[in-house]
Chain A
């Protein structure tokens, strides 16, 4: 709790008027909701390490920094969009720079049948009413002040809907570019994604940098899969080395729906990702694969929280972490199988590799099971490279540094094995290898 006198510089800086008016400003219900969220944020302040969810991720340094509330020049900054093309990702593009939609960098002409895709800012300006329920309903998770901050200050984001039965083949590229500005900027995006019954979508969430900066970005993504929907979601976090990125992705899975999420985290000084899923329909399935590769003084924190609430649901999570130099990694894999979710399976595997003595990774699998006939497996390790494997490679003539690289790359790459988009898989694999110590 904080009064005006004890507020941190960070919180104080976020209470200033937005750098430019937020889209939707003047809409009474939205103004009211934003005011309420901002007040709650100011009241709560940033979480300390006494808050369980932030135990291993200290925000003391962030609390001392000030960020301008948005980038008034974001729409005009010169950006070369071609630098951010991804192999195998050739569908529609929705691009944002420092949290502001950029039509000039997007590709929204001739959307595939059954796909509705547009920026939230446009919807808020033209016809905000349909968003009223989504944006004013809010169930604050305890301690989640960044969700509050995001709700108070997000004026843009992705609105995506796949109509029932539509199968959208070309992957949709959601591109979030951080660009150098006059100072450090805080930007916020809110995404609302819905896959209708029996629909299919492939989505690429891409965080990138067009130059070095130390902005703070927050994103809140809500994804709903109706009955039988299929989602392939690949998230590639390649933000600027100085950036702070705090993301919350929440999936809601209906009966027989299936979401697969692949996450590759390479960039940012501070990257926190809360990946949450509720399996509310019978036989829903949720597979996650992810890796963070940290060096220098990077801090990466992935919090996976899964709730299996219906019969015969399945979740399978395979995560890897690598930390070098003075980097710090955190992984929490929590699965709750609720009463009644009988016949469900869950698996959480997390393996971590420390490449230096100063690096640290904390991992914590948590399985809580209240249902019957549940198959649950979990495992978490933190260690070094297998010495026997290292010797084996060296004994065949591969120099030690290269052998370490080969083994580390193999360790990371496993999470990409079942990424269906072969071109993207190869690209991400190469990027992982490129980031490994030489």
Chain B
């Protein structure tokens, strides 16, 4: 589904991704961990097509299409969704209106018919079962004055509504209380399907107790430096990233 090869990307003139290679098959959940500043959010932004993130080498294929050529909205319509590490507040734009405009824009781009307000509300009610967020948040301006946790839930609610093929969750667990973490995880798990893949960026093994990944990768200094199954996350938790560096350099063997 997603094939990233030797990806190099620059932000503000500085090379951040330095030859990243990663393949994600349909239905898989990949966790990406790594130290602050390693380039995890940069990867998410590059995949979503954020302006200012310049790809200097390498390729990204999504279901056979080179998405690097597409503007963000076309990537979204093709099924790429990025839950932002820092969701944006948009004063004056009603959350429900935003969701409906987004959903209909994607449907239109895919040649599907647009939903009228009745059909849309029905869909919203269904999705509310997956991700509880209060009515009040739907009536307010997008993310404006939302608490940190409310913003993250709103991201997952959007994901549930837009039903992407590839969801990139950038530290969606940061700043969530224990109950919210469970809810968000349940929301993600409810959406897991053989057709849908996830890239879950996180600093905490705890999230992976709830969302069981098929693979765990360590991203350091712009590259994937280590990949493994979910036990890798446990090792990281125990030994820290310093171990990965040493391991990579071949200094020490795998800890028992």
Partner-B contacts on A (CB < 8 A)? 386-389, 391-400, 402-403, 406-407, 409-411, 413-414
CB neighbours of B101 from chain A (8 A): 398, 402, 406
Which one, B82, B92, B93, contacts A395 given CB within 8 A? Answer: B82
State whether B90 touches A392 (Cβ < 8 A).
yes
State whether B92 touches A393 (Cβ < 8 A).
no
Chosen A-B contacts, 25 in total, with CB atoms closer than 8 Å, are A386-B88, A391-B88, A392-B84, A392-B142, A394-B72, A394-B76, A395-B49, A395-B73, A395-B76, A395-B81, A395-B84, A396-B98, A396-B105, A397-B77, A397-B105, A397-B106, A398-B73, A399-B105, A400-B73, A406-B98, A407-B93, A409-B92, A410-B93, A410-B141, A413-B92
The tally of CB-CB contacts under 8 A between chains A and B is 79
Partner-A contacts on B (CB < 8 A)? 48-51, 71-73, 75-77, 81-82, 84, 87-93, 98, 101-103, 105-106, 109, 141-142, 158, 162
State whether A397 touches B88 (Cβ < 8 A).
no
- Given the known inter-chain contacts A387-B51, A391-B50, A402-B105, please indicate yes or no for A396 contacting B162, CB distance below 8 A: yes
CB neighbours of B82 from chain A (8 A): 395
- Given the known inter-chain contacts A397-B162, A398-B101, please indicate yes or no for A392 contacting B88, CB distance below 8 A: yes
Question: How many Å lie between the Cα of A413 and that of B90 in the bound state?
Answer: 13
Enumerate the 9 nearest inter-chain pairs by beta-carbon distance, A residue then B residue, closest first. A410-B92, A397-B76, A397-B106, A396-B102, A394-B72, A392-B88, A410-B93, A397-B105, A394-B73
State whether B98 touches A400 (Cβ < 8 A).
no
State whether A393 touches B102 (Cβ < 8 A).
yes
State whether A389 touches B90 (Cβ < 8 A).
yes
Which one, A394, A406, A411, A414, contacts B71 given CB within 8 A? Answer: A394
Question: How many Å lie between the Cα of A388 and that of B52 in the bound state?
Answer: 11
State whether A397 touches B102 (Cβ < 8 A).
yes
Question: How many Å lie between the Cα of A186 and that of B89 in the bound state?
Answer: 48
State whether B91 touches A395 (Cβ < 8 A).
no
CB neighbours of B93 from chain A (8 A): 406-407, 410
Chain A residue at smallest Cβ distance from B107 = A397
Question: How far apart are A371's CB and chain B's nearest CB, in angstroms?
Answer: 32
Question: How many Å lie between the Cα of A185 and that of B140 in the bound state?
Answer: 48
Question: How many Å lie between the Cα of A177 and that of B23 in the bound state?
Answer: 66
Question: How many Å lie between the Cα of A389 and that of B142 in the bound state?
Answer: 10
CB neighbours of B141 from chain A (8 A): 410
Question: How far apart are B100's CB and chain A's nearest CB, in angstroms?
Answer: 11
- Given the known inter-chain contacts A397-B105, A397-B162, A402-B101, please indicate yes or no for A414 contacting B92, CB distance below 8 A: yes
CB neighbours of B71 from chain A (8 A): 394, 399-400
CB neighbours of A397 from chain B (8 A): 73, 76-77, 102-103, 105-106, 109, 162
State whether A388 touches B158 (Cβ < 8 A).
no
Question: How far apart are A412's CB and chain B's nearest CB, in angstroms?
Answer: 9
